[in-house]
Amino acid sequence: MRILNCYMANDSKGHFVTAKEAAEHNRQDVLCCVSCGCPLTLKRGTDGQPPWFEHDQMTVSEKVLLRCTWLDPAEKESRRVYLQGMLVPDYAVKVRRWFCVMCDESYEGEKVCPGCGSGLYSRERREPLMEDTGTDNSLL
């Protein structure tokens, strides 16, 4: 899981600490993410790069990290698409049988009535419920 570098943390007393302050004062206390509370590791910048904090991903659950504001937006998007795919079925039920209320005509296929040439007055044709046909039913 990719989490972006963060530059702000909370110390053990709940005070905000920047990565630059932590590097300058050589702080040894436990620093936690402001967003998710995950323990952070201070990385000292090199080659002109400023210091930053990295999440210690092994100490917290994935569920906690997924709610962190420092989670890479691309990772959030792919996760959202994955979850939507689980919730929304891949198929759509297509209506193939129609009834035009203007022409009083049933037809199949595209929603274009052969009588009036329009689909504006067409509705999905529903089969009537099977009624008692007068046959004996031994289960009743």
Bridging pattern class, strands 8-10 and 16-18:
antiparallel
Q: What are the tokens at 34?
A: 């402001």
In this prediction the pTM is 0.55
pLDDT tens-digit series, residues 28-77: 788 999 999 999 999 988 888 899 999 999 988 988 988 899 989 998 88
Domain residue spans in the chain? 8-87, 93-129
Do the Cβ atoms of 72 and 4 come closer than 8 Å?
Answer: yes
Bridging pattern class, strands 97-100 and 32-33:
unpaired
**CATH class of the domain at 93-129:** mainly beta
| 22 vs 43: CA distance, rounded Å | 10
